[in-house]
Amino acid sequence: MKTTGWCMMDFAILVGAVAAWVAAAAGYPDGTVLDVTQPPYAVVPDDGQDDAAAIQRAVSENLDRGVALFFPNGVYDLDQGIVFRDTQGRWRPHVAIRGESREGTVFRLRDQAAGMQDAADPRGVFTTGSFWEPGDHESGGGNKAFRNNFSDFTLDTGRGNPGAIGIDWAVSNVGAIERVTLRDSGRCALRGISAARQIPGPGLVKDVRIEGFEHALHLDDIQYGISVADCEFTGARACGIVTGKNLLHAFRVKVAGAPVALDVSRVEGVATLVDCELEGDVRKTGSVFTDAASADGLALLRQMPTRFPQPSAAAWGAQRPRSNDVAVVGARRPGEPDDTAAIQRAFDSGASTVFFQTGRVYHLSDTLVVRGKLRRIYGMGAEVNLGAAKAPFSDVANPKPLVRIADGEGAVLVEDVFFNAQYPGEILFEHDSRRDLFIRHCGGWVGAEGRCRSYRPGPNGAGRVFVEDAFLPGWVFRGQDVAAIQFNPENWAGDGSEPQVLNDGGRLAIVGFKTEGPAPYLETRGGGLSEVCGGYNYVSATKRLPAERIPYPAPDSRQRITAVADNYGEGDYAAYALPGSSLVRRPRNGDPAFPAHLLLAR
């Protein structure tokens, strides 16, 4: 994979000492993960016995809580697949399967496992779900499959399992599979990753290796799109990547050793490829774009690191840090009405790394400041909630930040935090420093009364911004370099008075851009440059575009947009019917009387 010199240097500084290892064998401070090898689940790896029942219990009892289920290094034998159903049998999302290391934590499907024999009725070794409600599909797919995350392990589908899928992934808005190897050692399993049940996406597949399978990656059903970055798929028996009616946004992806590298098998399907290497045929009943990024946009995207620091000690070997270089957010002190002071104490402890406790809800009433030596914040699936703090966060004219990035030592990483902040006078992140900021795997319910503000530069200016796998509405960038992958700023309740993203005089490049609600989706002004390399605009989630609204306005600026729109009105994209642009209307489900699918390439 290609990188740039400055980015790797800055990234090396960012990695530094990752955490203090209170639980030395596991590599995580106490309370930040739920170790399944400890009671009450007491899963025993490396004993050759079936672990599926104990793992299923751990999953079922922790769904919908944001818990990180931790699997220390070892081999976990599975006689059957694990499904994301709760103790009452209902599909539920929102749990993380997290290994200690990619090579050391191994899930191994038994040879000729029950239920894995029929390729016409395939089953996942892991099958995630959407939050099921009466009327939803019984398959577990849907648009409420939030935060279904997998990281840091190898999964082997064994031998004699032609109906096996490594991860059958339902995902919505925010969720990732990263630092994972999926291996078809028996050369007969069906798919490595499948996102093909009802309306999958958006989601991010990052730094994943898939070896073998009939199809390494399989996408289908309509709508929201999957972003794939820094992945390598080798030796697929039929095809490396298949997308039917869904959208593929790919960056730095290599496919090798397959007869067909990519098959866009339905007319509605779209694949946008940036900096990819495909060995093998490319088949397209739908559309394939290979020139979505300009040279400037590609240079900007290449600044994104291929890998980010992870909290597991096993990943860093001899670089295990000092015990005084970490803090875990502690309890409230007597008289403290919420968690604001406890969090700020951890932030100001002098540690470079702060962990939240997994599955916890933390209540705020004032701004948190990231300053000094603090550089890495791992939410571990915790929720930050404004709770009853309505008064300080309701002044629309003078919005108040939840988190201020102030001056300090080096770049800042914020990862895996969920924000429940639903007042009209708030900003999630005020970036008031020239420090670079990395925001990953963060989502939430933000704002009220149509006012959603997730990011703003502060009065002292702001550094570069890198976003991966974010579901947060309302972003403003001013004179900055910004690169994003799997970026979902949807504001379905907005009134169109503010763009969902504003780039004022900066450079912005995005791979995988999903919006919902009224336009403008992305406005570029002040001589800026914006590039969308694969987007999905769900136009009519709440209302049609006002006649005067342009989806991607760019007064006196440059832009390059490759995107798909669904449920648009006849005039919604008329501004783009210009020389050098391409507007292609395509039928949904093969019905020419229902032209609800539009391609915009400019």
pLDDT tens string 320-372: 445 568 999 999 999 999 999 999 999 999 999 999 999 999 999 999 999 99
Say yes or no: do domains 43-290 and 321-601 share a fold.
yes
Q: How far is the C-alpha of 431 from the C-alpha of 434, rounded, in Å? A: 8
Average pLDDT of the residues of the chain: 88
Instruction: Give Cβ neighbours of residue 573 (< 8 Å, ≥ 6 apart).
Output: 551, 565, 583, 598, 600
pLDDT at 18 over 80: no
pLDDT at 17 over 50: no
Instruction: Give Cβ neighbours of residue 126 (< 8 Å, ≥ 6 apart).
Output: 81, 82, 84, 97, 107, 150, 155, 166, 167, 168
Model-level pTM? 0.92
Compare 60 and 307 and report the one with higher pLDDT: 60
pLDDT at 500 over 60: yes
pLDDT at 267 over 90: no
| pLDDT at 567 (0 to 100) | 66
Please give the average per-residue pLDDT across 38-67, as a whole number: 97
pLDDT at 21 over 60: no
Compare 171 and 547 and report the one with higher pLDDT: 171
| pLDDT at 543 (0 to 100) | 55
Q: How far is the C-alpha of 499 from the C-alpha of 479, rounded, in Å? A: 17
Which of 49-58, 102-111, 546-555 has the weakest average pLDDT? 546-555
CATH number corresponding to 321-601: 2.160.20
pLDDT, tens only, 569-600: 666 666 665 555 555 555 555 444 433 455 66
pLDDT at 238 over 80: yes
Q: Is 24 exposed, middle or buried (0-12, 13-18, 19+ CB in 10 A)?
A: exposed
Superfamily of domain covering 43-290: Single-stranded right-handed beta-helix, Pectin lyase-like (2.160.20.10)
**Domain spans, the chain:** 43-290, 321-601
Please give the average per-residue pLDDT across 512-516, as a whole number: 94
The model's confidence at residue 319, banded by pLDDT at 50, 70 and 90, is very low
